[in-house]
Amino acid sequence: MPRSDETPATALKDDSQLQQKTMIAEHYRRLARVALTGEKNVYTFVPGNLTELLRSFDLLPVLPEINALQSAMRGKSRDYIAIAEKLGHSEDVCTYVKCDLGMMKSGNVGPTGEPLPKPDLLLLSYTGCFTFMKWFEILKAEYDCPVAMLHVPYQADGRVTESMRSYVVKQIREELIPTLERISGRRYDEDRLKELLRNSARAEDDLVFVLESAKHRPSPIDAYFGGVYYIGPIFTAFRGTEGAVAYYRALRREVEERLAQGLGPVTPDGELKNERFRIVVEGPPNWTSFHAFWRMFADAGAVVVASSYTKVGGVYDTGFRHDAEHPIETLADYCMGCYTNLGLPARVAMLTRYVEEYRADGLLVHSIKSCNSFSAGQLMILREVELRTGRPCGFIESDLVDPRYFSAANIKNRLESYFQMIEQKRAGGVS
């Protein structure tokens, strides 16, 4: 059976990538030891994750989406998905769900090769994705554990109303916090939460600096493929921790140094020295052929200068920071502000702004079969951004973690055509 074409051992990484890899691996090892340490864990989702709140109760977050993408990068997702489909899960639905279920049925072995613990609580942070609700209903039946639902209203009109905020705040204050007290055996400690939120804001400052460094020419970072490493700690289990603060400070220094030296981003094959194309990407990456996908860009001299995927676990570049003075309200605002919780007009406006502010050559939509939250409406987004910016937009398709839907030749052809289109546009004198 064909396997992932990944060769991560040979891919070059900069120091920050190695550092975040170490952090995440240590977190998985800690999860594997909970039977010995007695620590409790909570499964939850990346968008709308309440990591600071969980950490304030000494609860360890587990992110099933991250487990799924890790499984894909390790070449395991094909078999996991097959297990779920044999159990009756449709080929039409989200492959993250099926990969996670297949992993669970195969012993729930995490990326470090050690088994992950069963959840003490499923925190259904229902933010920006309908599938989350079904996912945790499925897991609830499998694990027979409690579920805490946090319903986060959708920003259809691109704004958070007092009614929406109050709804989320009440759920956190009156339902979630008592549940976390019961699960953890600890009382809610607002001072501790505030301390964690202050750490979050510090890390968020540095993350925004890093992401916005791509406005320079040449960009010192790749804000999509490289970006997924940069968002790793803050989108997963570490927001609010001293470790995250240290990581983002170190990452910022690394990027500042690259800026000072006029260096391009680090790709799997080393530094990209000739920035030919500056692209904004909409949609998540493919994880089964992540490095091969990245190389298609790097080989063409294409750098992703901004992406929507790096906003899926929080939008910080419009000014939002976790506010320790209003700890529950700020968590509510954070949840409602995640990218996939924004209405399409707001998404179009954000991507248009990225194309213009980052002086990009155009927008490329990477459409994911599995993810209707992202994908439904992307063809319209593409046309709107093209209309508003006058810059060419391109479209490719694959999947998150199902290797059956990654057609390398097809994607490469389309990318080559897209880059040619940009060149033709340039030759025509259009910026």
Partner 1 sequence: MRALDELVGRAEALVRDNSLPSVRRWKEATGGAAIGYMPVYVPREIFHAQGVLPVGIFGGGENLEIIRGDAFYQSYICHIPRSTIELGLNGSYDVLDGMIFPAICDVIRNLSGMWKLQFPAKLSRYLDVPQNFDPAIGGGFYRKELVELARELHEHGAKPYDAEALRASISAYNENRALVRELDALRRREPWKIPTSELYVVLRAALLLPVEEATPLFRDYLGLVRAESSRRPLDQARVLVCGSFCEQPPLALIRTLERSGCYIVDDEFLQIHRWIKGDVATAGDPLDALVSAFLDDAIESPVRYIGDRAKGAELVARVRASSAEGVLFCAPSFCDPALLDQPMAVKAIDAAGIPWTAFKYAENNGQFQVIREQAGTFADSIKLWSGV
Tell me whether residue 71 is exposed, middle or buried, using C-beta atoms within 10 angstroms of its C-beta: 0 to 12, 13 to 18, 19 or more: buried
In angstroms, give the least distance from the CB of 303 to partner 1.
26
Which residues of the chain form contacts with partner 1 (CB under 8 A)? 87-90, 92-94, 97, 124, 126, 129-131, 133-135, 137-138, 141, 147, 149, 151, 153-154, 156-157, 163-164, 166-167, 170-171, 174-175, 343-345, 347-348, 367, 369, 372-373, 375-380, 384, 397
Kindly tell me which of 72 and 176 has the beta carbon lying closer to partner 1: 176
Kindly tell me which of 132 and 294 has the beta carbon lying closer to partner 1: 132
In angstroms, give the least distance from the CB of 336 to partner 1.
11
Kindly tell me which of 25 and 380 has the beta carbon lying closer to partner 1: 380
In angstroms, give the least distance from the CB of 346 to partner 1.
8
In angstroms, give the least distance from the CB of 340 to partner 1.
8
- How distant, in Å, are the alpha carbons of 45, 210, 264 from that of 302? 31, 19, 11
Q: Helix crossing, 15-32 with 242-261: angle to 10°? A: 160
Q: List b or e across 6-37, with b for residues whose CB sees 16 or more CB atoms inside 10 angstroms.
A: beeeebeebebbebbeebbeebbeebbebeee
In angstroms, give the least distance from the CB of 355 to partner 1.
17
Q: Are strands 270-271 and 266-267 parallel, antiparallel or unpaired?
A: antiparallel
> In sequence order, what are the beta bridge partners of 69?
none
Kindly tell me which of 88 and 319 has the beta carbon lying closer to partner 1: 88
Kindly tell me which of 94 and 103 has the beta carbon lying closer to partner 1: 94
Question: Closest Cα to residue 314, out of 295, 294, 341, 296?
Answer: 341
Contact at 8 Å (CB) between 300 and 86?
no
In angstroms, give the least distance from the CB of 86 to partner 1.
11
Kindly tell me which of 145 and 421 has the beta carbon lying closer to partner 1: 145
Q: Are strands 60-62 and 41-43 parallel, antiparallel or unpaired?
A: parallel
Alpha helix ranges (H) inside 145-241 = 162-170, 177-184, 190-212, 225-235
